[in-house]
Amino acid sequence: MGYPRSGHTVVASILNANPNVICTNQLHLFDKIDSDIFQYMKDAPQGWKVNIPHVPKQEITVMGDKTGHRTTDLLGKNPKRLGEMKVKVGVPIKWIHVVRNPFDNIATWARIDCELKQRKNIPFTHKEELNEKLNEYMSLNQTIAKLRKSEDVLTVKHEFVITRMHNTLEEMAEFLEISFDPIWRDNVRNTVWKQPRITRRSIPWTQKQKGQVHDIIAQYDWLKGYDFGGCGRC
């Protein structure tokens, strides 16, 4: 679960490289509850932007899908789908919730959509685009807050995947009960970039918009400590 441009694709690619995990990329499984989900995941093509060398697969104990904000949005609108999925798979469901500094997260999300609209000659303003993303970001957090009340969720900070890699991988391995394979760890270390990407100043903010983000941060424990002037690790 998470948000667009939060770094959850990297986390999913990391997990997919583990010898005990198959993790697919945007299969939208909650729209495919009536299909043979496990077979569908096994046959799915791999299309990762960050290709981490795989440790040879051993016993597969975890299967997952990275659909991130679309799954979060869907369950916010139709929470019954979660119960249907639990009945369908018949095994425990765990969630990786990836967070990133909200200013970097929202700025990247808005900037990329602005660039897309510019290429398509669609009128836009940075202010309107940021306002739209702020509202969507707030809605996603509201849904996540509800899911965390009943679901088994591990929150992973995007910045810590890079700056505290060993500890973060160990934490994910323990949570998912998978092998903390040293070759897996080294493959991740050698592939993932060395510093968090700080993008908050790539798009102009109004003071009101910055204040709105600080208000969101204050509401949710998983966002505490983030700030516009903070470094990439906080």
Count Cα neighbours of 49 within 13 Å in the Cβ-side half-sphere.
Answer: 9
The two three-digit tokens of residue 145, written as one number: 């807050």
b vs e for 111-122, b when ≥16 Cβ sit within 10 Å of the residue's Cβ? bbbbeeeeeeee
Confidence band (pLDDT; 50, 70, 90) for 6?
very high
The two three-digit tokens of residue 136, written as one number: 């969507």
Query: What domains does the chain contain, in order, with CATH numbers?
Result: 8-223 (3.40.50.300)
| pLDDT mean over 19-23 | 93
Q: What is the mean pLDDT of the chain?
A: 92
Decide if pLDDT at 71 tops 80.
Answer: yes
* Spatial contact of 174 and 18, defined as CB atoms under 8 Å apart: no
* Spatial contact of 104 and 228, defined as CB atoms under 8 Å apart: no
* Spatial contact of 53 and 184, defined as CB atoms under 8 Å apart: no
At residue 21, the 3 state secondary structure works out as strand
Helix (H) and strand (E) counts for the chain? 10, 4
Question: How far, in Å, CA of 28 to CA of 36, rounded?
Answer: 13
Beta bridge partners of 157: 99
Which stretch of 44-53, 57-66, 117-126 has the lowest confidence by average pLDDT?
44-53
Q: Whole-prediction pTM value?
A: 0.91
Question: How far, in Å, CA of 106 to CA of 131, rounded?
Answer: 10
